[in-house]
Amino acid sequence: MPCDEWSTLLEQYRRAVGAYDDAVNDLTSLHDALFNAKWQQAEQARKQSDNCRADLLHHEHDHACLGAGKSEAAGPRVAVNTEKLVLGDQGQSGG
């Protein structure tokens, strides 16, 4: 079962992706200097979402709170590959 820190990191990632989505949507009807400023905001939001995703994957790897790396003696485990399921991996490595 995911730990509290994983849940917090997932929420941060969800919010960052939402902010990136909003920033990209703001680009649809802009021109010239205003477009350039909004583009920079979208790029910052993209970088933030990338950082949040990396933090989440790093936590999963190090903490193994989703079952990866835990012994069978510890009881049943739930192995969730969030890199593909939750995060929608697009062929990128997680680390």
Assigned domain for 48 exists: yes
- Read off the DSSP letter of residue 86: T
Report helix, strand or coil for 23: helix
Which of 57, 56, 76, 77 is CA-nearest to residue 68? 77
pLDDT digits (tens, 9 = 90+) for 5-46: 999 999 999 999 999 999 999 888 777 778 888 999 999 999
pTM exceeds cut of 0.85: no
Return the pLDDT at 61. 86
State the Cα torsion 40-44-47-53 to the nearest 10°.
-140
Inside any domain, residue 93? no
Q: Is residue 95 part of a domain?
A: no
Per the structure, the count of domains in the chain is: 1
85 occurs within a structural domain: no
CB 54, CB 14: distance < 8 Å: no
- Among candidates 57, 20, 58, which has minimal Cα distance to 42? 20
pLDDT higher for 37 or 1? 37
Each residue's pLDDT tens digit, 50-93: 999 999 999 988 888 876 544 444 444 445 555 554 445 454 55
In a domain, 11, yes or no: yes
Establish if 80 belongs to a structural domain.
no
> In terms of residue numbers, what domain contains 64?
4-74
Residue 8 in domain: yes
Using CA atoms, how far residue 7 sits from 31, 42, 65, 79, in Å, is 39, 25, 11, 16
